[in-house]
Structure 1
């Protein structure tokens, strides 16, 4: 079990290892999102290999269409 800060709130994770796992657990796979980990933007191409660690600060922003 690890604890991260996700969008400003503490969150305990049991089976999440990578950013891709986190996005899947949030039903955000295939959605347009921007992900920041510990103050740095993580490109989508690196979500699968970016491992999370206890204490990480993650911000996820979803794109909203409009006009």
Structure 2
């Protein structure tokens, strides 16, 4: 299926948000996620099913001051 990940079109075999994060090599414990503009808590990623055309944002924390 084709999804939008952080503004870029990505082809994926992942069925859930958790699988997509793993497939893309993102550091799962340290990222925040949103699906179609709605925040998805870490504990709900395994049960969050992706659909063709979904918009996913994965954000990593930044340090600074």
Counterparts of 1:8-19 in structure 2 under 5 Å? 8-14=7-13, 16-19=14-17
Offset from partner CA, 1:3-32 (integer Å, 9 cap, x none): 001100111112x01011011112224431
Q: Where do 5+ consecutive residues of structure 1 fail to align?
A: none
Between structures 1 and 2, the one with greater helix share: 2
Q: Where do 5+ consecutive residues of structure 2 fail to align?
A: none
1:49 is aligned, of 47, 50, 58, to: 47
Contact 2:21–2:28 (CA under 8 A) maintained in structure 1: no
Could you list the structure 1 runs, at least 4 aligned residues long, displaced by more than 6 angstroms after superposition. Answer: none
- Provide TM-score, normalisation by structure 1: 0.85
- Provide TM-score, normalisation by structure 2: 0.87
Q: CA RMSD in A?
A: 1.4
Contact 1:31–1:62 (CA under 8 A) maintained in structure 2: no
Q: Residue in 1 aligned with 2:30?
A: 32
